[in-house]
Amino acid sequence: MSKTIVAVIDAGGRGSALIDAYAASPLVDELIAIPGNDLMQINTEKPVHIFPDLKTTQKDEILKICKDNSVSFIDVAQDNAVEAGVSDILRDNNFKVVGASKESGQLEWDKCFSREFMVKYNLPVPKFWKFQNKDEAKTFIQTQTEQPFVIKASGLAEGKGVIIAQTIAQSLDAVDQMAKFGTSGETFLIEEFLDGEEFSSYAISDGNTFQYIASAQDHKKVFDGDKGLNTGGMGCSAPALVVDENIEKQIMEIFHETFEGLKKENKPYHGILYLGGIVVAGKVFIIEYNCRWGDPEVECILPGIKNDWYEVGLSVAEGKLNDETIEYDGKSRIVVAAASKGYPEDYSAVKGSEIIGMDDLIGTPNVKVYTAGVRKSDGKYIANGGRLFFVVAEGHDVIKARDVAYDALEKVSIPNGNGEDLLHYRHDIGYRDVLRIKNS
């Protein structure tokens, strides 16, 4: 009897969480992660093969690996891979795939297209203006009396291509900063700033129908109190309590109109769609779409899904999502991202340093650890990136989950020999919902 082999196209915490979810299926025998990371094996006894020298965009090499290993099913989970058309080449070669096509993935990798799509299908968006010329953008800013603005690179920028500018001077500087995103910043948006509470919601579609999964609340800023630069995400909590019955109804309508709009555009959607939203005076506005799981949201949503995730993925690939009813266990979870000090800017002083206490952390009861920028060498855990690992804990509410996560994090450090810990993480993940519970 042939083996069932699942491949995940991702390297970081998101990929680690997906490997864990697929490995939990009794139907899955082996796993492949492209490129993967050294510690994707820690949550399962099933074999996990990694290809650390590959990039997620090397579609011909990925296709060859999948053919050579007789892969049964592939999850294209990473944004650059979607833009590169990895899902397309795999589907063209008759593989079963969950992951947006290059065309439908334009909702993420081209934010100007995405905003224009939203307007076309009457979806709730802030005011926005599109620019390709810096001087024209600066002239526009100087004629405006209302601040702040949000300046966004149109292309992919690892979650860091958004700048909130409070003043005209900051807006002008943000326009100049678009250059640091290379081709992704050649076209950019200036948007109206919306003052509200943000959330992330997830749905999954097989190209015909969709199901809502859950909502979470990400924490993008690097420091406590939502201070500092934007990051790929410093942690999140799920479920997001801001998403009440009224908000969820609006979210469902947005998802419905989005998937229907994509069908009308001849871009049927197959995979996870992430709606980044904001609630302003009880009304939902769309901040952005991502055409894959968010990272770290997936780390605290997937563990709560009661279904066999391989069976869900297969139903998407085969256009049979109606055969599944996604169930959530109702527990609260929190995930805290542990990063190299200096992230998201210069963390070169940390790279190559030993992380102390990882074995104790990984062995903590009722805690999951998903790794990203960590490599293992001679039995030691070595910092090898910005965001290093993610600690996930659960409880009957976010307060309990948070206590467990932060107790576990006390076991790890990156000492520099001068009494300084080079491991950085926020200490207030989930703070909005903690306050809601304490004030209720």
For residue 107, the tally of other CB atoms under 10 A from its CB is: 25
Neighbour tally for 355: CB within 10 Å: 23
- Give the CATH superfamily of 127-192: ATP-grasp fold, A domain (3.30.1490.20)
Same fold, 5-101 and 332-439: no
- Identity of the amino acid at 220: K
Answer for the pair 94, 110: CB distance below 8 angstroms, yes or no. no
Buried b (16+ CB within 10 A) or exposed e, 49-75: bbbeebbbbbbeebbebbeeeebbbbb
Strand ranges (E), 125-174: 128-131, 149-153, 162-165
Say what the pLDDT of residue 54 is: 97
Q: State which fold the 5-101 domain adopts.
A: Rossmann fold (3.40.50)
Start-to-end C-alpha separation, the chain: 56
Mean pLDDT, range 258-266, rounded to an integer: 98
**How large is the average pLDDT for residues 191-207?**
97
Token pair recorded at residue 326? 């996604």
Predicted TM-score of the model (pTM): 0.96
Q: Indicate the average pLDDT of the chain.
A: 96
The dihedral sign for the CA sequence 161, 165, 168, 169: negative
Using a 10 angstrom Cβ sphere, with 0-12 exposed, 13-18 middle and 19 or more buried, the burial of residue 138 is middle
Q: What is the pLDDT of residue 375?
A: 95
| Mean pLDDT calculated for residue range 262-283 | 98
Contacts (Cβ under 8 Å, ≥6 apart) of 365: none
The token pair at 303 is 């563990």
Options 3.30.460.10, 3.90.1710.10, 3.30.470.20, 3.40.50.880; which CATH number does 195-323 get?
A: 3.30.470.20
Each residue of 112-160: pLDDT tens digit? 999 999 999 999 999 999 999 999 999 999 999 888 999 999 999 987 8
- Is a pLDDT exceeding 80 seen at residue 5? yes
The mean per-residue pLDDT over the stretch 248-252 comes to 98
The domain spans of the chain are 5-101, 127-192, 195-323, 332-439
Work out the average pLDDT over 383-390: 97
Q: Are 393 and 367 in contact (CB under 8 A)?
A: yes
pLDDT at 421 over 90: yes
What is the CATH superfamily name and number for domain 332-439? Answer: Phosphoribosylglycinamide synthetase, C-terminal domain (3.90.600.10)
Whether residue 327 is predicted with pLDDT greater than 70 in this model: the reply is: yes
Q: For residue range 14-67, list pLDDT tens digits in order.
A: 999 999 999 999 999 999 999 999 999 999 999 999 999 999 999 999 999 999
Contacts of 261 (CB under 8 A, 6+ apart): 117, 120, 121
pLDDT of residue 1 exceeding 70, the answer is no
Residue 185 DSSP SS3: helix
**Rounded Cα–Cα distance for residues 21 and 313 (Å):** 11
Quote the percentage of the chain above a pLDDT of 70: 100
pLDDT for residue 222: 97
Say what the pLDDT of residue 2 is. Answer: 87
The pLDDT of residue 419 is above 90: no
